[in-house]
Structure 1
Amino acid sequence: FHGEGYQEGYEDGSSLGRIEGRQHGALRGAKIGSEIGCYQGFAFAWKHLLHSDASERDSRKMRVLESLMGMIEKFPYDDPAYDRLHEDLDRIRGKFRQLCSLLNVQPDFKMSAEGSGLSF
């Protein structure tokens, strides 16, 4: 009886662990996707604003902006086993902060139950 009980408990625990793991992974993935999406929307809006009023002074801003957009474009959305995911995400966050500093904006990315958002 002891062996049967152990086996049943092990199988139930494994099943529940996989379910909980999938739920946690989906939630974490959604948060990362939402964050990256906000960065991408921010970059597209500023690209349009800077491109329409291009000057020599804005060339550094445009280079950093293009770099951020390139990093976002290369981000591996569909590979959950990518081993450098967190490193790449940290680089994107750093580039975003650099761009915000150049643009003189103070972003506030918030994740809440109502959804995510980027405010200034």
Structure 2
Amino acid sequence: MSSVQHIFVYRPVICRNFDMSFENIFLVEERFESDGYNQGYLIGKQKGIEEGKRLGQSKAMEIGTEVGFYSGFISTLTLLYTSQDSAKASRILKMIKSLSSSLERFPVTDVHHVNFFDDLKKIRAKFKQICSLSGISLETDVKKGHKILTF
């Protein structure tokens, strides 16, 4: 009879895999933290782009409404003061012409224009000068926060 002997052989491959598995378990927290950071960064970046787009659209509507208001305002004042023949009316008409030409040159569709906000400030200043000279006051409705014109 032959006897079969069982010999246990040390296999370093198994041991190496065991060490790698232990290392993977040990480093899982770092990996999850890194994955979470990367996913959070991408989600935050997308949310920032969306919020920036909404804010940009909102501000663009405000500026467009303001510029449109100024255009309508000077059209009305032009009709009003053209029929008058006085030194004050001619000064107001001259200022209206200046504001009108500023509005025509204003780059409404190009916010990246170098002087966009400077030009807008100049337009606002000219508008205030015209209001002051013609006796029109721009008041704020405290309850609603809206600006109203009084003649």
Q: TM-score band, normalised by the shorter chain?
A: 0.7 to 0.9
Greater RCO (Cα-Cα under 8 Å, separation 6 or more)? 1
Q: Is the 8 A contact 1:61 1:102 kept in 2?
A: yes
Task: Give the number of the structure whose alpha-carbon radius of gyration is greater.
Answer: 2
Secondary structure in structure 2 of the residue aligned to 1:88: helix
Amino acid at match of 2:59: R
1:16 is aligned, of 3, 22, 47, to 47
Partner of 2:149: 119
* Cα distance in structure 1, aligned partners of 2:108 and 2:147: 20
For the aligned residues, what is the CA RMSD? Answer: 2.2
Change beyond 3 A, Cα 1:109–1:39: farther
Higher alpha-carbon deviation: 14-23 or 55-64: 55-64
Consecutive unaligned residues in structure 2, runs of 5 or more: 1-31
Aligned residues: 118
Consecutive unaligned residues in structure 1, runs of 5 or more: none
Change beyond 3 A, Cα 1:63–1:39: same
Structure 1 segments of 4+ aligned residues over 3 angstroms from their partners:
54-57
Identity %: 33
Alignment of 1:1-120 (within 5 A): 1-108=32-139, 118-120=148-150
TM-score, normalization by structure 1:
0.86
Report the alpha carbon displacement of residue 53 of structure 1 after superposing the two structures with TM.
2.7
Report the alpha carbon displacement of residue 108 of structure 1 after superposing the two structures with TM.
3.2
